[in-house]
Each structure stands twice: as C-alpha cells, then as structure tokens.
Amino acid sequence: MIVADLSISQLTYSLANKGLCLRTGPVVSRIHSKLSLVANGIALQYAEHPVEPDDGFADFNVHVELPVGIRRWFQPQVLFQFDSNTPFSPLPADQAFPMLEWGLNWCVSSYCNQYLCIHAAVIEKNGRAAILPAPPGSGKSTLCAGLICRGWRLLSDELTLIDPRTGQIIPLVRPVSLKNASIDVIRRFSPNSVFSPGVKDTVKGTVAHMKPPTESVRCAFEPAQPGWMILPRYQAGAPARLVPLSKGQAFMQLAENAFNYSLHGKRGFEALANLIESSGCYEFTYSRLEEAVEVFEKLANTK
C-alpha cells in the first residue's frame, strides 16, 4: 500500500489514532498528528511512498501536535515530539509540515548510526551518484531540484547515507526543501513539479517542499555507487564552471559535513577514504540552472 491508496479521511484517521507508518527507504516513521496541515502535506508530498502495517515495527515514533495550554488557542504553536520527548522549541502552528520534515531529518541524523551520515544532497545518473555537500545558501537544494527535474534520480536532498561495509549510498527519498527565491526559480524551471504551499517567516525564511519524482521513490531500495563529490556554489551572473578539487580537500569537506564521523572511528575514516578515492572531486560554480544541467549531463556521460 502507498499513501495515495488512502483517502484523506483514512489518512487523517490513521494519523490521529495509531499513527501512520511511513516508509522512506530503510527508515519507517510512525507519525501521529491531528493537524490537517500535516495530513495534507503527507498526502501531497508522499503520495507514492509505502505505508507499513500500523502494528509493525517503526524506527521512529513521532508526534506533531498543538501544545496544551494557552498557546493552543492564542498565537497557536506546534510541537515536535520524539518518543515523548520534545527536542525542539515550539514553532508557529502554520509551520507544522516543515517542522515534521526538519524533525524527521533530525531523527535520522541523530540515530541512524549504522550509516555514515553526511549533510549533503545526493543524486544519481547512469549508475553513479553525485554527492553535493554545501553550507546553507550555497544553492545545493536548488541545484539538486533542477537536476532531478531533468532526469537525475533523487537519493536525498539533505542526508547522504553511506553503508560503511559496502561503500554504497543508501537512498532516503523525501521531499526537497526549497527556500525563498529558489522556490520561484524551480517553479519556472519545472512548471509541472508539485509544491507544498509556501510557509513564510520560518527561521529559514519562506519554505516550500517539492514532491520527489515518482521514479525516484520507486527506486528507493536500490543503492548507488559513488561517482563524484562536488561542492556547489551559486554565484549571481557566473558561468557554470567545474574545477577539479584535490582528494585531500574533498575528504575534509565530507568529514566536516558528517554528523557521526567520529563515532565510526577507523571504519568511518576508511569508508570516506575509499569513497573519495573512487570519486571524481570538483568545485562547481553556477548561476543558471540550464547551464548547470548541461555540465552535469556531460559529466554523467563520461567514462
């Protein structure tokens, strides 16, 4: 069963009672919420994702609900709870769906320590994956969204999961988070893409989520081999330019963006070293998505 097989009333009932067991690749999250913003967001953004039996095992048990007390009614807020704990401060109630997304990212990055977890987008073409680590504001998510709208497979917009035993990259296909001007850029670039309503005045500005491609969701159990490690940077007016990056610099970039590198010790070092050794490493500057797509297509077609 997938989310789209449920009517909105069935989905709402499931969320409000035993919880919806939503599978995203290797992770099952039991999501509880009585909020229509959460139900509508899941119905729109996760339509093709599998739903597991509600009495089965779930990796994470989370709630997104209004708090008890005056903030339930006056300037209402919303809370994210994980196993009855509240790891974050409350947010305005209209940020319920973004808070679910940020909370699920936190769950994976904090607890999925069977993987080496890196803060990076990751996409795949012709059997090879491109890892895109970058700080906020670098254009990482915009580039990722643009490429998957042109046929690249989405593995993740936020979290690259590396199996340290095999060196393979494990898909964690979820909606792509876009901010501020990037929302309209991708709307113009791919008019048929499906977006959640924009939510204003978050800590990241205006946020909207783009539904992942159906084919990417269907391939969510197919790991990918690393092919490239590319540091993207948006620069207004700059031509698309791919410049080789030394293996040492590339290693340090991945290590600095890893959530649990130190936890893995020697095994983590070897996993990153092997990944870098087998990957082409580059810095990439761009301003126009059309030019960026051309550069990445040439890269994907080189042997």
3-state secondary structure 242-291: EEECCHHHHHHHHHHHECCHHHHHHHHHHHHHHHHHCCEEEEEEECCHHH
Choose the CATH number for 116-300 among 1.10.3470, 3.40.50, 1.10.287, 1.10.1660: 3.40.50
**CA distances for 189 relative to 79, 109, 144, angstroms:** 34, 31, 12
pLDDT tens readout for residues 127-137 = 999 999 987 77
Helix/strand number for the chain, H first, E second: 9, 17
> What pLDDT is recorded for position 73?
59
Residues of the chain with pLDDT > 70, as a percent, come to: 98
Is the pLDDT score of 68 beyond 90? no
3-state secondary structure of 13: helix
What are the beta bridge partners of residue 169?
162, 224
E strands in 48-110? 51-52, 60-65, 77-82, 91-92
User: Token pair for residue 160?
Assistant: 């690259």
- Give backbone dihedrals phi and psi of 229, rounded to 5 degrees, phi first: -120, 115
Q: What is d(CA 149, CA 147) in angstroms, rounded to the nearest whole number?
A: 5
Greatest CA separation for the chain:
62
What is the overall mean pLDDT for the chain?
94
Strand 27-32 and strand 91-92: the pairing is unpaired
The neighbouring-strand residues paired with 79 are 65
The string of pLDDT tens digits covering residues 232-246 is 999 989 999 999 999
Question: Which residue stretches of the chain are H helix?
Answer: 8-16, 36-45, 96-111, 140-148, 181-189, 214-218, 247-257, 261-277, 289-300
The answer to whether 77 and 68 have CB atoms below 8 angstroms apart is no
Domain boundaries, the chain: 3-111, 116-300
Give per-residue pLDDT as tens, 71-127: 555 678 999 999 988 999 999 999 999 999 999 999 999 999 999 999 999 999 999
Share of the chain above pLDDT 90, in %: 89
Phi and psi (nearest 5°) for 248?
Answer: -65, -45
How much is the pTM?
Answer: 0.94
